[in-house]
Amino acid sequence: MPILTTPAWIIDYLEAGHGPTVILLHSSVSGNRQWRALISMLSDRYRVVAPNLVGYGQTSPWPGDRAQTLADQGDLIRPFLDRSEGDVALVGHSFGATVAMRLALDHPDRVTRLVLLEPNLVHMLRHEGRHGAFMEAHGLRDFVKEHGGRGDWERVAVRFADYWDGEGTWAAMPSERRATFVAALSPNYHEWDAVLGDESLIEGTARITALTMVVWARNTKRPMAKPSRYSGNGLLLGVSRNWPMVATCSR
């Protein structure tokens, strides 16, 4: 896997193909390998880049000297924007989708397309009056912070896996997969700070000019799902009305 070194970061990434640049940003407790199938599908038409976010793979861990922000994750991705010719499309999943939104807000001259798969916008739920969904997500955050802070990552893994993928997921997971899952959890401790502490997107979402598609599944967890008052005009959590494409899909 190639490595990009900057004054602030060591970043490992996947790259394939030629053409307009598409940057893929993975979800929490995952890594850029989640995009292998998509890279294969796109690389005959696009230059596809899939970095590992902070703390994943060989990418530098978060130093922990202060709370992480979305801008910090954006700074990690900025060199890939600078190395790209022409406009860039971003595809992000969950936490990666939230990072993609911050990049689109900060670099409107470079990011012209967004595909957001179940973006993690927990910080907006409270402002939109979706208190049940907010408390559900915040409860998971508190669990990660409490037990992860004590180093009990296996206990976090059970709760995390069963919450996102259904009761019994951890029990059914092979031992090798369990070990990999636990090893990938620690960056999530700081990602909650970025999602809940960085409120730049609460008002900033309406200023994103990139052509955007937002995708939810029918069984998307409530904090990540489209609001019940979605009207089909590109409204996302009541904030932005300038997004022309929104879709719901099934798994």
Taking only the tens place, the pLDDT of each residue in 16-72 is: 999 999 999 999 999 999 999 999 999 999 999 999 999 999 999 999 889 999 999
Number of CB atoms found within 10 A of residue 4's CB: 17
- Which of 3.90.950.20, 3.30.479.30, 3.10.20.30, 3.40.50.1820 would CATH assign to domain 3-122+200-249? 3.40.50.1820
Which DSSP state fits 217?
A: E
In this prediction, residue 107 has a pLDDT band, given cuts at 50, 70 and 90, of very high
Average the pLDDT over 187-192 and give the result: 97
Measured CA to CA, the distance from residue 186 to residue 45 in angstroms comes to: 35
Domain chopping of the chain, boundaries: 3-122+200-249, 131-194
Lowest mean pLDDT among 136-145, 198-207, 234-243: 234-243
H or E stretch at 175: helix 175-183
In this prediction, residue 227 has a pLDDT band, given cuts at 50, 70 and 90, of low
Average the pLDDT over 206-221 and give the result: 90
Give 97's strand partners: none
Measured CA to CA, the distance from residue 144 to residue 9 in angstroms comes to: 25
**Contact yes or no for 30/59 (Cβ under 8 A):** no
Average the pLDDT over 224-231 and give the result: 59
The SS3 assignment for 96 reads helix
Question: In degrees rounded to 5, what are phi and psi of residue 41?
Answer: -70, -30
In this prediction, residue 202 has a pLDDT band, given cuts at 50, 70 and 90, of confident
